[in-house]
Amino acid sequence: MRNLLRSVSLVFSAGCFGGLANSLTLWLLGVSGVTEAFQVKLAPVLTAPWLYPRIVWGGMWGFLFLLPVLKKTTLLRGLLFSLCPTVVQLFVIFPLKAKKGIMGFELGNLTPAFVVVLNAVWGVFAAYWLKYSGEHR
């Protein structure tokens, strides 16, 4: 039971760290004008109400790391698991919640590419958090 609790807390914290990395990357791309240069309307303001749910959802997605998949390949594992939030964002969040069309094309034609890259940031940072925390799940 103790090991399970440790594993659950580690994957959640890893996911939160990944969510923070993802959010800061998006914010930096916005303030530096990169998203605008690619005609993608993703340039959030760094506020607690914007950041908090992204970190919490990152933690929730971190539970994917409890799955016994690709345990020995940190980078590939992070990239593989990053596809799950990517699919949800592109095919559920954008069209149904945000009303920005399937894959968020109303935000710009390259929006799906940005989502893939940003979620890859989440997955890689979360996977390496686990690796360097000593958790080899």
* Per-residue pLDDT of the chain in tens (137 residues, 90 and over written 9): 889 999 999 999 999 999 999 999 999 999 999 999 999 999 999 999 999 999 999 999 999 999 999 989 999 999 999 999 999 999 999 999 999 999 999 999 999 999 999 999 999 999 999 999 975 54
Rg (the chain; Cα; Å): 15
Cα–Cα distance measured from residue 12 to residue 56, given in angstroms and rounded to the nearest whole number:
9
The model's pTM: 0.94
Domain extent at residue 120 = 2-133
Report the domain count for the chain.
1
> CB neighbours (10 Å) of residue 21?
21
What's the farthest any 2 CA atoms get from each other in the chain?
Answer: 50
CB-CB contact of 137 with 65 (8 Å): yes
